[in-house]
Copies of this chain bind each other. A is one copy, B any other.
Amino acid sequence: MRVRIEDPADPRLDDVRDLNHSDNRPDLPGGKGLIVAEGPLVVSRLLASRFPVRTLVGFPSKLDAYLAEHEVPDDVDVYEVSREVLADAAGFDLHRGLLATAVRAPEPTVDDVLAKARTVVVLEGVGDHENIGALFRNAAGMGVDAVLFGNGCADPLYRRSVRVSMGHVLRTPFAHLEGTHTTWQRSLAQLRDAGYRLVSMTPAGEVTLAEALVDEAGAPWGKLALLVGGEGPGLTEHAMRATDARAMIPMAPGTDSLNVATSAAVAFYERDRSLRHRSV
């Protein structure tokens, strides 16, 4: 039902209150915030996702335009607000004027994720929300089926990750591997048992990326897990030791390694390329 709200202090706006600090919600399960989608594209991806949507909030004109073209389930509260009221509640000016919030649904299990995937990426120590978002955008764009989180990664459902991913964190399945920074690597055995070839991405790789993604006959690995570490430290030795190969993107001398989301994009591209062209 669509309701106009004039008072920024109205408790019905609590889902979009103080959005710069909205990820800390001790009142919600897990103590984490709701999922917040901004703009029509990401709002639609949230509505189509596995996450139960609670509210849709927008300027009158933005709501009109959105609702004229999209179905919104009856159990979603729709709140019409002025730009000033929304800015006051959210804590800053949201010029896009359309937001939706959803509850964090439980993650699928690692087994569930692996059962339906051919290519997965495994992240370790990727602590930056923008990099996580960009990684999901690149993964979705180039046909990576799922994302697995090792230790030390940022929250993919944080508002900035959702935005930078263009909503792909809401669509691409992901799950967390258990363990601490020195034990999570053991769960990589689960991937090997499921038939995955494990390839570490590292500037100190022994083979080129193109070589690492095919077998000796030049055929692409049927199932592939690409491991990517955070910018700076990269993958731990412990993680790389649990993989089958260490692959590098060839770099010009005297330059710096690529941004983590960019090097992942190159790896995703090479994976897709190996499946299309079937030769190095």
Decide yes or no whether A142 CB sits under 8 A from chain B. yes
- Residues on B with beta carbons closer than 8 Å to the beta carbon of A142: 249-252
Chain B residues with CB under 8 Å of A138's CB are 258, 262
A110: interface (CB < 8 Å): no
Q: In chain B, what residue has the closest Cβ to A268?
A: B266
Are B252 and A143 in touch, CB under 8 angstroms?
yes
The answer to the question of A276 belonging to the interface, with a C-beta cut-off of 8 Å to chain B, is yes
- Give the contacts of A260-280 with B (CB-CB under 8 A): 261-262, 265-266, 269-270, 272-273, 276-277, 279-280
**Choice from B255, B261, B273 contacting A141 with Cβ under 8 Å:** B255
Q: Bound state CA distance, A255 and B277, in angstroms?
A: 22
Instruction: Name the residue on B nearest A249 (C-beta).
Output: B269
| Chain B proximity mask over A160-171: 1 for CB below 8 Å, otherwise 0 | 000000101000
Choose among A138, A251, A273, A279 the residue with the greatest number of B CB atoms under 10 Å from its CB.
A273
CB of A210 closer than 8 Å to a CB of B? yes
Bound CA–CA A272/B208 (angstroms): 12
* Pairwise interchain contact A134-B269, C-beta atoms closer than 8 A: no
What mask results when residues 239 to 251 of chain A are scored 1 for a CB within 8 Å of chain B, else 0?
0000000000111
- Chain A interface residues (CB < 8 Å from chain B): 134, 137-138, 140-143, 166, 168, 208, 210, 249-252, 255-259, 261-262, 265-266, 269-270, 272-273, 276-277, 279-280
